[in-house]
Amino acid sequence: MSRDVYVAGVGMHPFMRNAPSGRDMYFTAAMETMKDAGIKFQEVGALYNGYIGGEMMEGVTFAKDLGLTNVPIVHVENASATGSCAFREAVNAVKGGECDIAMAVGYDDMIKHTRKRAIMAMADKPKIEQTILPAAFFAMWATRRMHEAGTTVETFAKIAAKNWNHARFNKYAQRQAANIVTPEEILASNEVSYPHTTKMACAAGGGAAGAVVVTKEIAQRLANGRPLVKVTGSQAKSEHYTDGHVFLGAVIGPEDLTRVTTQALYEEAGIGPDDVDLVHVHDAFPIEELMYYELMGFCGKGEGDRMVADGETSIGGRIPFSTDGGLTARGHPGGPTGLAQVWDAVTQLRGEADKRQVEGAQNAMIHMMGAGSICIMHMLQKEA
Amino acid sequence: MISTPIEEGYFKIKGDGQPVLLGSYSPSSGNTYYPIRKLCPVTSEPVETVELPIEGELYSWTFVRMASIGSQSKKEGGGHGVGQVDLPCGTRIQTAISGELGDWEIGMKMKLALLPVKQDGDTQLCSYCFEPIK
């Protein structure tokens, strides 16, 4: 069985540095999601919880706050791609006929759980696998890019500033700048891993997000005058071998993994880069976003710098990236991040994004990488 | 004081104190991998454990202003070096590198060295790093 799948509801708990308990954030995001969809928990036929930190079975106990309905609940974890993976599992549950309504909820607190645990483990029982942190991995992408293509730190700063400024119009974003953020401010912040500064790095904090996916019949019943949002592509790939392949962590790639996953997504959705209106990517650092412009086919190899200089990836530009602030400024708690991307994409396709709105948005592409590595991508399409 | 690897299976320390990385050679694909694989990731055929060359070329680098392995705080100097080193056998090693910001250039020659991490009685537990060849 293969059925068309639609996103009927999305919801968020704000991403923030001093976040409340995971249980409270989970409840808020799940309730907001079901309210947006216009359903009750009793109608949910499958539930996928995405979190990286937390305790064993924690998500199942949190779900008891929503009700006891015998619903099957599965814990999903795929590093940064956890929320994206939970969403994909929900899509597959509806697509395959397991149920007509499935929900994915992601939550995490990178500060309280994940990062503290990693630092303690590295100090007390050091593992060679932990020598290289993700911040170093992407910084080495950046150093090599500067060597090969002549990219400057100003380009990285412009990408980060663009995302900080997108986040100014997202009430759920962790980084809420009062005024327009300039590349100079980005460069003036402390260095975290050369050539990246703290204001280029993804914001660590807590948060939660959710999505409800349904069959077409139910989507039409729940639409309430809003346009339908169809899932026209869902792809997940782990690594393939490439020249210079590294196995010892952190590994979030290779770069080519994004290229092959994007190609498979275009093929499944039946569209190409010229048809895409906005993009969300795993922009933990600006070098990633720069590389993904090229790997996703929005420009030729080495032309990403020009796209930044010309403002093509800002809202109002040719192909806006990270329209809610991205990992850089909306934030990256871990588990909910991919679902926050879905929230913005759906809001955009419905025409409800207010000052963030990409005019005439028809197709939104969503990309997340999970360290280890895995790449998960979705294409969402507005249906009249 | 005796130096010993902080974790088994990644490298060994020879009699003269020189560390050597342990990798896998795949006769079926001709590729050499680090760290040791159970099967060739390209062909899924058996691999042989081999000692890897101790010298290579710096492919990329960064200076991370965070705690390094075995530590909860930044070292003096505010951080530590990390690099990717390409070995003559075609294997890329993601590794700590010795030195400070300004010491590294892509393409420079690097050599494997011991990296002391912590002491356990009379034993110095070590990881490894690559250092620029002067």
Give A209-234 pLDDT, tens digit per residue.
999 999 999 999 999 999 999 999 99
A55: pLDDT strictly greater than 70: yes
pLDDT higher than threshold 60 for residue B76: no
Model ipTM?
Answer: 0.94
pLDDT band at B74 (very low <50, low <70, confident <90, very high): low
Contacts of B101 in chain A (CB under 8 A): 194
User: Exposed (0-12), middle (13-18) or buried (19+): which is B2, by Cβ within 10 Å?
Assistant: exposed
Domain that holds residue B109: 2-132
Structure confidence at residue B73 (pLDDT)? 60
| Chain B partners within 8 Å of A123 (Cβ) | 67, 70-72
Q: Omega into A20 within 30° of 0, i.e. cis?
A: no
What domains does chain A contain, in order, with CATH numbers?
6-112+204-222 (3.40.47.10)
DSSP code for A114: I
Per-residue model confidence (pLDDT) at position A10: 98
Tokens 């939104």 sit on residue: A364
Q: How confident is the model at residue A131 (pLDDT cuts 50, 70, 90)?
A: confident
Residue-wise pLDDT tens digits, A185-197:
999 999 999 999 9
Evaluate if residue B75 carries a pLDDT over 70.
no
Please count the residue pairs, one from chain A and one from chain B, whose beta carbons lie less than 8 angstroms apart: 109
**DSSP H/E element including A286:** helix A286-295
- Chain A nearest C-alpha distance from B92 (Å): 5
pLDDT of residue A250: 82
**Residues recorded for chain B:** 134
Q: A-chain residues within 8 Å CB-CB of B42? A: 241
d(CA A176, CA A186): 14
pLDDT of A122 reads 59
Chain B residues close to A143, C-beta within 8 Å: 60-62, 106
Amino acid identity at A233: G
Residue A355's Cα: distance from chain center in Å?
20
Read off the pLDDT band of B72 (50, 70, 90): low
Detail the DSSP E strand segments found in B26-108. 32-33, 48-51, 55-64, 80-86, 92-97
Residue A383: what pLDDT? 95
| CB-based contact, A142 to chain B, within 8 Å | yes
Phi, psi (degrees; rounded to nearest 5) at A161: -60, -40
Helices (H), A65-208: 82-95, 116-124, 134-149, 153-167, 183-188
A152: tokens are 């400057």
- Distance CA(B26)–CA(B32), nearest Å, equals 6
Q: Is A227 or B76 the better-scoring residue by pLDDT?
A: A227
Tally of structural domains, chain B:
1
pLDDT band at B69 (very low <50, low <70, confident <90, very high): confident
pLDDT at residue B113, as a whole number: 98
Window from A109-123, A305-319, B80-94 with minimum mean pLDDT: A109-123
Distance CA B72, CA B66 (A): 9
Q: What is the mean pLDDT of residues A343-354?
A: 98
**Nearest CB neighbour to B69, from listed A130, A139, A244:** A130
Q: Are B55 and B133 in contact (CB under 8 A)?
A: yes
Mean pLDDT, rounded, of chain A: 95
